[in-house]
Amino acid sequence: MVEESAEDKVKAKKKAVIKSIVSWIGIIVVVCIVSYFVFIYEGSLFGDREEISIVEPADVELYRFSALADWVPVKNETLNVEIWVINTGDVIAREISVFVRCRNQNGTVLFADLLDLTREILNNDETASSTFTVDYRQGDAYIETTIELRSDQSSHSYLKKTEL
């Protein structure tokens, strides 16, 4: 029998170490490729992931404001006002209140009250309306209407000026 020389033993050991290093590098490359597809492409390797959607809270805003003056030549005039509100959020709006205050050019309060809407709860993109009448005098130049909208998740104020 021929015995292996010391040089052959060293070469065999180097080959074993190189094989081990190449095996570990191969495993690391495979793990990196799989991680790339899983994390970068968000699961395309295992099928589509469910998209995360951001849900907007209920937000009740003024949708339309219409004020029509009654021009009948009498001592006291009236202003007929129609207000529309809309829920622009994704969640149902509850506890909606609309407070309106109307003043003339002198700051005299002509109307101040909570309005009753046609709907008490609004889903996404649903509207509700209310109307009211303001009595004013012939000498009034304009009426400023302050509208305060509140719901369980939002609050807005608007100022509308109606020339008479």
Q: What is the pLDDT along the chain (164 residues), one digit of tens a residue?
A: 556 677 878 888 888 888 889 999 999 999 888 777 766 665 555 555 566 677 888 999 999 999 987 665 555 688 899 999 999 999 999 999 999 999 999 999 999 999 999 998 999 999 999 999 999 888 889 999 999 999 988 999 999 999 98
Residues 6+ apart with CB under 8 A from 35: none
Cα dihedral angle (134, 140, 145, 146), rounded to 10 degrees?
A: -120
Contact 63, 151 (CB under 8 A): no
Compute the distance between CA of residue 143 and CA of residue 161 in angstroms, rounded to an integer.
6
Closest alpha carbon to 120 in 163, 58, 36: 58
CATH 3.30.230.70 fits 60-163, yes or no: no
Query: Does the reported pTM lie above 0.85?
Result: no
Compute the distance between CA of residue 124 and CA of residue 135 in angstroms, rounded to an integer.
35
Compute the distance between CA of residue 136 and CA of residue 88 in angstroms, rounded to an integer.
34
